[in-house]
Amino acid sequence: MLPFRLYEGAPQWVAPLISERKRHLDRKRNPFFAHAEAEYFLARRGERVVGRISAQVDRRFNEFQGNEWGQFGFFECEDDPEVATALLDTASSWLRERRRDHVIRPLDFSTNHECGLLVDGFEREPQILENWHHPYYGPLLEGYGFEQAMDLYKWSLHVSGRDSVLPIVFELADKLEPEHGIRIRNMRKRDLRNEVGRFKEIYNAAWERNWGFVPLTDDEIGNYCKELRPILDPNWAMVAETAEGETVGVAVTLPDFNQVLKKLDGRLLPFGWLTALRDRKKIDQVRVFALGVKPEFQHTGVAAAFYKRHFDMAAITPQTGGEMGWILATNEAMNRGMEAMGGKIVKTYRIYGKDL
């Protein structure tokens, strides 16, 4: 509950659902812990809780990336270097005991969850599955010796910007089916389990070369399916497949349910669910959560077709725009694609690193 006090009066902050955060942190219920361990720490001054942090070791991440890194997450702190140092010292000692030689943060718990510290774009509210942080957090970490390891970009796009899209994007999209036999369709919510399986195949293939990537397990995919099903809109969930039925790309875009959560103060009960049902129809923004194409099909224009389909959906749904990302600063292809779409970087999240 510490964030509820630290962010009180911050108009941009959106309270998460308390019940969801409890599940996420529960070692028995979160499938992340099938391949990882973590410890949670609180800093107190007298009886007052003044900070928190997690330290975690993700064995699957270490095996896939070939390193001995550890991670910090869930960092929240008063604007006090003494408190930050106490938290970071404690978490570092825990990781050293487990023979970690480097640490990256913040990851809540991995790049498959909320990650990165907001360092630019504080004036904007966070979108679904995204954090907002006080501007003083960066200086606290940098004062401890953390340095930039990777930046993550959020791009803004709006249906009104269709005229600024480079013509080549629509040309490639229009050639996709006649020249390559690949078509775009919406996901079938009634067949969501199989659709999520297709998503996993693309996700683990398309993202495997990305910095900090760790493949999702079947249990983690199942958990995502359960959590996202209530907010998934088939208009915004897309699959690219060949005439033979092979899935070659996916794009999962979520209505920005944070617009509803902002009014709930972390609780669905006793009456929050009524607000959720009423206000979900008023959501006018989306977040492009994941968009990927199998490497062997990336030359065909599948991504361009996804981009065009997003503009088409924005023209016929209540959601007229939103944000794309996050996208790694080093992902030149995707960032060039966003430029071609007339997008603008509106937020930057930063992952920090430090040798132990």
Q: Which domains does the chain have, with CATH numbers?
A: 2-153 (3.40.630), 156-347 (3.40.630.30)
Q: Would you place residue 205 in the very low, low, confident or very high pLDDT band (cuts 50, 70, 90)?
A: confident
Q: Is the pLDDT of residue 45 over 80?
A: yes
3-state secondary structure 2-68: HHHHHCCCCCCCCCCCHHHHHHHHCCCCCHHHHCEEEEEEEEEECCEEEEEEEEEEEHHHHHHHCCC
Q: What is the pTM of this model?
A: 0.93
Six-digit token pair at 179? 């020249």
Give the span between the Cα atoms of 186 and 250, in whole angstroms. Answer: 10
| Residue 69 confidence (pLDDT) | 98
How large is the average pLDDT for residues 35-39? 98
Rg (CA), the chain: 21
Q: Is the pLDDT of residue 325 over 90?
A: no
pLDDT tens digits along 106-140:
999 999 899 999 999 999 999 999 999 999 999 99
Q: Cβ(304)–Cβ(169) under 8 Å? A: yes
Q: Is the pLDDT of residue 269 over 80?
A: no
pLDDT tens digits along 144-181:
999 999 999 999 988 877 888 889 999 999 999 999 99
Q: How many CB atoms lie within 10 A of CB 314?
A: 24
